[in-house]
Structures are given as C-alpha cells and as structure tokens.
C-alpha cells in the first residue's frame, strides 16, 4: 500500500527480491540476502520525491543496550542536486519513520553521491588539517541548510567508502598497464617471474583465505569479520535471482597461498570487497598479482569500472588510509569523493549513547 507523506516523499514497500538492477552491490537483492544470513532484517521501498526517485534497500539490526538502528548502505543510488542533499534526506527519513521508525534510535545513510566538497575546478580545496572536507560541525551546517529540523549529524566514522579508487576498464590491457606507476608494473611482472600464480578458487579454500585475512587484520590493526561473513557471500549467490557474482582469487607459490581477494560483480561494476596477504614471502609481490588478475577478470566479464575501495582522499602521510592510497593509486585510475556517512537521530538519548561509544572505538 502506498503512503503519501506530507513531506512530499512518497514510499511504497516492495520485496527485496524486486530491487532494480544496479551497479551498487550494496543496494541489490543479493546483498539483502547476505545481510539476512548474518542476522540483519531488511526492507525495500520504491521512493519518489521532487528531487529524485528510485528504490532503496534498508538494513536493520540491534546494536546492544536496547539500541536499534537502520542502515542504508551506499544508497539510495539516485539523489538530488548536492545543495538539496539535506532536505532530501530529512524528507526520506521522516517518510521511512512511518514504516520502520518504531524503536529505531537513528537511520544511517552511507551516501554514494558526489561529495559536496568535490572540486569542480582543476585543484581540490585543502583545509587546514590536510583534509578535503571541513570539520564535521561545518559539514553539518551545510548539510542541514534548508531543512526544517536541522537534525542530520555527520557520523563519527564513514562506514564504507567516502573516497575510493576507480579504474576505467573501457580500454585495452596495454593501456591499463601504461596508466600504472612504473613500480606497480614492475611488481606485477616480478610476481610472474618469481612463479606466483593466481587461481580462481572455490569455497573449499576459504579457510586458507581466512588465515591470510586474520594475518592482515593483526598486521594492520583492524577488526576482522567472522568466517561466517565470507561463507554467507557464497550462500547468498546460490539463493538470489539477481545477476550478482562473487569471485575468489588466490595467489600461490609452490601451492602456498600468499595473497587473496574477493571480488563481486553487480551490473557493470566490479568491487574489490576484501583482500588479504601473508606475513611471509612478501618479496613475491603476490598482492600486485592478485589485483592485476582481478582487473583482467572484471574486464573479461564486461565490467566498465573496477572499484578498488577505500583510499585516503589525497597523498597525506598522516591519514589512516595512506597505505591503501599508496598501493592502489599505483594501478592508475581516479579517486572519487562521495558524500560520506550521515545519521538522522530518532531517539536522541539512545543515539548519543551509541555515538559516544563509536567515537571511543567501543562499537
């Protein structure tokens, strides 16, 4: 049944199986099934507003301490003009409240839209702290301009990818190699000379990948996902009708796994979802071999873009993603700057409890 909202955004519930085809992995019926298997609840809606229309996948879960939240991961795909982001999100949030707002502390949007601070000229504006965006308080002023409630908050962390390295695959392999930095090309060839072989693996080799992933987590000091997260990707592919694909690559030397990657394909975009590498034999340059194999696979599958995921927005030694920036930009491509993660609090006391815990790294 369609609900006509006084805020001019119309929502109509739909089955997640009927989400429109999209290049955004995180807005597909496949991703809905992955999250269902991991204990989330999901909802899907068609929406129409003066600024945009399309559909949207909502993920919901219990966060502990009686706090429930909804999460829109890289969605909605279609958005308004950048100066209308705030009013649009306010209207959409208030419309969603009529369907899923009961007991929710907040709705979180991980925006795939271009950053309001992306350069329109030849040079990107740099702020005093070395960022391409002003401090959160000033971002909130701009985002809330034109809203009724001034209720949008910049999240303490960007949940997926605010800045990502994108490679254009609509060119030959020779041109792709020519667009790389010389050291990256050298390391790809060095891995081949040393006998590193990249193979397409199946779920039976997930334990080997997970061992590499745990090593990477400990080495780079990030929280590792559970093994079940990876197996859920395979289970979801088998049980969803859309065309999303999961490809699992392992780089081996003398049958020993040295590096791996999980790459998904949705529409015409391949996404480098997870990577891992061994603490041993790092001189074999296996991660370079894996990425080149992933790029070639995506191109062979007819993809137009290869999304390598998170990087620092620019060359900044102090940024926590600088290591990823240095590695990924070696493959050429361009950095896209997205809108980042924004919250719309519904129960402010519960939201503040969660936000404070998140800022302290206790979430």
What are 40-80's pLDDT values in tens digits? 999 999 999 988 999 999 999 998 777 899 999 999 999 99
**pLDDT of 160-175, one tens digit each?**
789 999 999 999 999 9
Beta-bridged to residue 154, according to DSSP, are: 342
**Amino acid 121: pLDDT:** 65
User: Which of 89, 196, 101, 71 is CA-nearest to residue 149?
Assistant: 89
Q: Is the pLDDT reported for residue 362 higher than 80?
A: no
Q: Would you give the DSSP letter of residue 339? A: E
Provide, rounded to the nearest whole percent, the portion of the chain with pLDDT above 70. Answer: 97
Mean pLDDT of 7-31: 93
Q: Whole-angstrom Cα distance, residue 254 to residue 199?
A: 12
**pLDDT of 284-316, one tens digit each?**
999 999 999 999 999 999 999 999 999 988 888
106 close to 117: Cβ distance less than 8 angstroms: no
Q: Is the pLDDT reported for residue 101 higher than 90?
A: no
In this structure, which topology does domain 170-303 adopt according to CATH? Aminopeptidase (3.40.630)
Task: Find the helix packing angle between 85-100 and 136-144, rounded to 10°.
Answer: 80
**Amino acid 252: pLDDT:** 97
**pLDDT of 217-226, one tens digit each?**
999 888 889 9
Q: For the chain, which residues make up each domain, given as ranges? A: 3-162+338-359, 170-303
Domain 3-162+338-359 and domain 170-303 have a common topology = yes
**pLDDT of 139-157, one tens digit each?**
999 999 999 999 999 998 8
Q: Using 50, 70 and 90 to split pLDDT, how confident is the model at 107?
A: very high
Q: Is the pLDDT reported for residue 213 higher than 70?
A: yes
**Amino acid 237: pLDDT:** 84
Name the one residue in this structure whose structure tokens are 């002023």.
Answer: 141
**pLDDT of 316-332, one tens digit each?**
888 888 899 999 999 99
Q: Using 50, 70 and 90 to split pLDDT, how confident is the model at 7?
A: low
**Amino acid 2: pLDDT:** 36
Q: Using 50, 70 and 90 to split pLDDT, how confident is the model at 122?
A: low
Q: Whole-angstrom Cα distance, residue 171 to residue 162?
A: 26
Q: Is the pLDDT reported for residue 4 higher than 50?
A: no
**Amino acid 1: pLDDT:** 34
Beta-strand ranges (E) seen in the chain are: 3-4, 10-14, 41-48, 53-64, 67-73, 104-114, 153-154, 163-168, 197-200, 245-253, 256-266, 269-277, 305-310, 334-345
Q: Say if pTM beats, i.e. exceeds, 0.85.
A: yes
> CATH class for domain 3-162+338-359?
alpha beta
Q: Whole-angstrom Cα distance, residue 339 to residue 137?
A: 15
Highest mean pLDDT among 126-130, 312-316, 331-335: 331-335
């Amino acid at each position: 049944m369609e609900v006509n909202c006084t805020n001019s955004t119309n929502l109509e519930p739909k089955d997640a199986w009927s989400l429109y085809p999209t290049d955004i992995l995180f807005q597909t019926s496949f991703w809905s099934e992955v999250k269902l298997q991991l204990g989330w609840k999901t909802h899907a809606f068609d929406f129409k507003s003066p600024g945009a229309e399309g559909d949207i996948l909502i993920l919901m879960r219990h966060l502990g301490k009686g706090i429930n939240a909804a999460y829109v991961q890289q969605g909605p795909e279609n958005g308004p003009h950048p100066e209308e982001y705030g009013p649009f999100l306010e209207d959409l949030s208030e419309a969603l409240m009529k369907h899923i707002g009961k007991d929710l502390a907040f709705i979180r949007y991980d925006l795939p839209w271009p950053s309001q601070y992306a350069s329109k000229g030849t040079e990107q504006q740099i702020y005093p702290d070395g960022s391409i965006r002003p401090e959160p308080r000033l971002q909130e002023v701009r985002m809330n301009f034109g809203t009724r409630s001034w209720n949008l908050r910049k999240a303490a962390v960007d949940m997926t990818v605010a800045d990502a390295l994108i490679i254009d695959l609509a060119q030959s392999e020779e041109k792709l190699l020519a667009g790389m930095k010389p050291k990256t090309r050298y390391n790809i060839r060095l891995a081949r000379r040393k006998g590193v072989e990249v193979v397409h693996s199946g779920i039976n080799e997930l334990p080997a990948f997970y061992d590499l992933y745990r090593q990477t987590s400990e080495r780079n000091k990030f929280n590792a996902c559970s093994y079940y997260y990876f197996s859920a990707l395979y289970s979801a592919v088998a049980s969803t009708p859309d065309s999303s694909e999961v490809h699992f690559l392992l780089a081996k030397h003398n049958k020993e796994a040295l590096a791996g990657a999980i790459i998904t394909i949705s529409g015409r975009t391949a996404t480098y979802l997870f990577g891992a590498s061994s603490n041993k034999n790092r001189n074999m340059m296996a991660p370079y071999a894996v990425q080149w194999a992933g790029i070639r696979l995506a191109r062979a599958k007819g993809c137009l873009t290869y999304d390598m995921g998170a990087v620092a927005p620019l060359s900044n030694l102090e940024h926590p993603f600088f290591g990823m920036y240095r590695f990924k930009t070696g493959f050429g491509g361009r950095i896209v700057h997205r809108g980042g993660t924004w919250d719309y609090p519904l129960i402010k006391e519960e939201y503040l409890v969660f936000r404070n815990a998140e800022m302290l790294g206790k979430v």
